[in-house]
Structure 1
Amino acid sequence: MLTAADVAAARERIRDHIRTTPLVQADPASLTGDSAEGGADAASSVWFKLEQLQHTGSFKARGAFNRILTAAAAGQLTEAGVVAASGGNAGLAVAHAAARQGASARVYVPETAPAVKQAKLAELGATVVATGTKYTDAYDAAAADVAETGALLCHAYDQPEICAGQGTLGAELLDQTGGVDTILVAVGGGGLLAGIAAATEGHARVVGVEPATIPTLHTALAAGAPVDVDVSGVAADSLGATRIGEIAHSVATRTGVSSVLVDDADIVAARALLWRKFRLVVEHGTAAAPAALLSRAYRPADGERVAVVLCGANTDPSDLA
């Protein structure tokens, strides 16, 4: 069971290996088209957590360092190196963390992974293996590698050390803000959601925001268990897990996490707004979280303090001009 104590231990372990990312406060009215009741402007404050400034451009470095440093302390990091399956961001983080520990990294990605992410993986020294068209194809190939070589597997989102590491973002956010009522976070496989919900349990509500085309959490909450969903849409490269992780589902159920869905058009609009009004570049998956406010899929109560996690920026910005 993932708890705040696990996150606190991870925070101490990775403290010297990650960046403390900044917050910026936004005018709530800037995130809604008008002043109708129940819009984002009802909130007393909206904070953006700029985690896209983390090492390798996403929150994933937190979990990767926690997993690899834990393994190294236990003597589990061998010459076989580290293996990950990832559409991009998790692989980038694993490659970075492994290199910092002097370990080799092999990253299996779907053939649909963005070229910008595959190129960056190679720059970080990882061996990149593109296989299949879905995350599950890459994961099966990575698991076969681990079985053959004895390498350390870094799951993209469903390992306790990974989730605890991601949760350090939530603990950091509470310290920086002095407390918020609600945290909006984009959901794919759910590692970030699980970590933040565990870290902030009893202190803030967590709302998972998903593309309507990839409703992993939404479907799991309705079904009472993780189930497979179809994957499509503009955010599929970063939120493309076919089902929510077991850890994320367990933590979400325990802590009362809720889910809202946003359309691709809302995601595109939110991403453009972040650039136009705040000069913040994020990937489409990240833009799902602010899209919940912009589209009114999530309506803050009067005086509500809201934090929006901007979790990654590994994207081609050429369409933001």
Structure 2
Amino acid sequence: MTPFSYSRASDAGQAVQLGAMAQAKYLGGGTNLVDLLRETIERPSSLVDVTGLSSSITSTPSGGLMIGAATTNTALAEHRLVRSQYPMLTRSIVAGASAQIRNMATVGGNILQRTRCAYFYDTEGSRCNKRSPGQGCDAIDGFNRNHAILGTSKSCVATHPSDMCVALAALDAIVHLQGPAGSRAIPLTDLHLLPDDDPQNEAVLLPGELITAIELPAPLVGTRSSYRKVRDRASYAFALVSVAAVLAVENGKVTDVRLALGGVAPKPWRARQSENALLGGPATEAAFRSAAEAELIDAVPLSGNGFKVELAIRTMTAVLTSLAGDFS
């Protein structure tokens, strides 16, 4: 492990001040960063502990929630307003990791966690453009069963590992940032970058910028939501495919729909083509499958993960059909 200095920030302003130095990294619960340090994938010269930042969950004037970035996953999943108004978010967090990890992991850290691609972690024997730009990607012609089928490039086919982010994408969450240049807020769906030719650049954060909070808009009246995760084993496995869905149906027609996918792309994938195909149309199983097929039309499967195309279509169809049944 590369030597580094350590400091603990008492608030966001101090954290940004400390994080502005070269090669600094922000440390939350450490459930991902410590692994990366141990494997020498990350080599910061200093760590800035941000667990002292806000961990509050408060109602906003518009009826939504403001969630401090230092909130643990457990605290978020168990909060009464989250459980009652955003149950899909609770389900996604509980599906994401063991209780021990949820007790440590923070919301900000979860959002910025790096891929769990085995080639990314194999520093001795594998090429990885995300880890070493220009080196190549051994996953493309290797064991790629768990890899992405949407939004990939010739440089990288890794998936984003977060379950929580998939739910946040479907909920139109807003990410609040603070950095040396000031504060700003962006949609979570705009935070993560697709790999293109620069897979080492994973988010739009500026140097020294820090996530301070996540804002959830007020729940949509008359909607139902669900989160479903398909994986190789019943617990503590990353998604092959996951679906977060919000649906409203009136007189047999879809009046509102929000869809996001996990396990299939380098970022939480908002299924805009499916949404556009469904809105105003019939809330039927056939319509749901057709819309899912429209989203996967641009999928580029690899040698070992072609099954994900049909799996994603079937999972989306099943989740939407189940939700539509609540309006019967």
TM-score w.r.t. length of structure 2: 0.27
> Is the strand fraction higher in 1 or 2?
2
Which structure has the larger Rg over C-alpha atoms?
Answer: 2
Instruction: Determine which structure has greater relative contact order: mean sequence separation of CA pairs < 8 Å that are 6+ residues apart, divided by chain length.
Output: 1
> Is the helix fraction higher in 1 or 2?
1
